[in-house]
Amino acid sequence: MTQGHGRTRERAERDTPSGERPGLVGVLGGMGPAATVDFYRKLVEETAATADQEHVPVVIWGDPRVPDRSLSLLGGGEDPTPHLRRGIQALRRAGCEVLAVPCNTAHAFVPALADEAGIELVSIIEVTADALAADGVRAAGLLATSGTLRSGLYAGALRRRGVTALEPGEAGQRQVMAAIAAVKAGHAGPEHGRALEDVARTLAARGAERIVAACTEIVLSLDGSGLPVPLVDPARLLAGRIAALARRRAG
């Protein structure tokens, strides 16, 4: 079961500090291209608009040439920092005041780069951790890249809010990475969705009250309808937070 759009909007509205007023929103995308398209679709869906002019103004930087973030974090790949810096600075020069990054793993690199460029990052990690804590969740299972897990991005954010992060075992993590790779390669099949569901069920059996699709490609292969606990989509939560910020500015 996935979270409803209306509930997501209400939570984003509630969790948004009243003083925040975003202008043009920059989306650092291309990681991967399908995930970027998915995020923008969700931003449109999360925006309570009755005409084109009421939607969130965005600039999307979609550079798929950014080196693999997970491989870099695991010590076996090129540092993506120069590529990420180039994209963030381009968005800032375009007049963007707020930055959204649909790629979860990239958040191991982008906070410092956003500060450097003078653009406000709305973190997909923090937004998701806020939502879980607001729902009173005590334990959440993570479906993420190995790099995201190694970095401790979610584990740390959840721990600060009193939520325990549960990660797949070694065999389960291999299944997760295989599914992510299949989505990126454009040939994800039903078998990948079933594999992710199996891993998610194992996490739920260990006590996870929510399963977090902590890689944007996960929801492109797993819809969550067959899970015993709700599937949380960080990309939709981020879209809801951005839409809420934009509504407050318009108001």
- List, by residue number, the catalytic residues: 103, 215
DSSP 80: -
Closest of 73, 40, 63, 32 to residue 188, by C-alpha:
32
Distance, CA of 98 to chain centre: 16
**Euclidean distance between CA atoms 157 and 170, whole angstroms:** 23
Contact yes or no for 171/165 (Cβ under 8 A): no
**Euclidean distance between CA atoms 240 and 144, whole angstroms:** 21
Contact yes or no for 210/141 (Cβ under 8 A): yes
**Euclidean distance between CA atoms 23 and 248, whole angstroms:** 11
Phi, psi values for residue 134, rounded to 5° = -65, -30
**Euclidean distance between CA atoms 106 and 114, whole angstroms:** 12
Q: How far is CA 162 from CA 56, 66, 145, 177, 240, in A?
A: 33, 34, 23, 27, 23
**Structure-token match 């959840």, residue found:** 158
**Structure-token match 């292969």, residue found:** 221
